[in-house]
Amino acid sequence: MGKQKKTRKYATMKRMLSLRDQSALKEREVPQYPSCLFFQYNTQLGPPYHILVDTNFINFSIKAKLDLVQSMTDCLYAKCIPCITDCVMAEIEKLGQKYRVALRIAKDPRFERLPCTHKGTYADDCLVQRVTQHKCYIVATVDRDLKRRIRKIPGVPIMYISN
């Protein structure tokens, strides 16, 4: 077999941009970060940590036989204030008699109750909305979808239980 011939393309020319090409002339949008994120470090997070607790985090802590407040304190080496929203509380109450231990833990006086002003009782949307507005919370969840949504928000740490 012989060598393959390489042919040059003589008719190639650089394509000129016209004013009608909208796809090529897109302006670059730079997202505006809040002032609390200085060098991507959240300065609003500080020691008495406020931790937003999700429904399944409470359930997994019961399965793992963990004291919720004590294990949070051991994890962060600082005072922790677990916060629970009305939506999460409603979600636990909807689960019924099977999750009465989780409801008793959620009604603990050490937990801070946060009132919700929005319509509906979907807890994931409530947590994401609250964290987007105020970057002073740590989110405690085991839910994969919620963790994926929160990772897209810069400066919000996630606490979870594994094994």
Radius of gyration of the chain (CA): 25
Please say if the pLDDT value at position 3 is more than 90: no
The model carries a pTM of 0.77
Dihedral angle computed from the Cα positions of residues 53, 59, 64 and 66, in that order, rounded to the nearest 10 degrees? 50
Chain CA centroid to CA 6, Å: 55
- pLDDT per position as a tens digit, 34-85: 888 877 788 889 899 999 999 999 999 999 999 999 999 999 999 999 999 9
Determine the length of the chain: 163
Domains of the chain with CATH codes: 50-159 (3.40.50.1010)
Please give the Cα distance from 108 to 82 (Å, whole number).
Answer: 10
**Better-predicted residue by pLDDT, 25 or 158:** 158
CA distances (Å), origin 61, targets 27, 83, 101, 124, 161: 48, 15, 11, 18, 7
For residues 92-107, give the mean pLDDT.
94
- pLDDT per position as a tens digit, 117-148: 888 879 999 999 999 999 999 999 999 999 99
Please give the Cα distance from 107 to 153 (Å, whole number).
Answer: 29
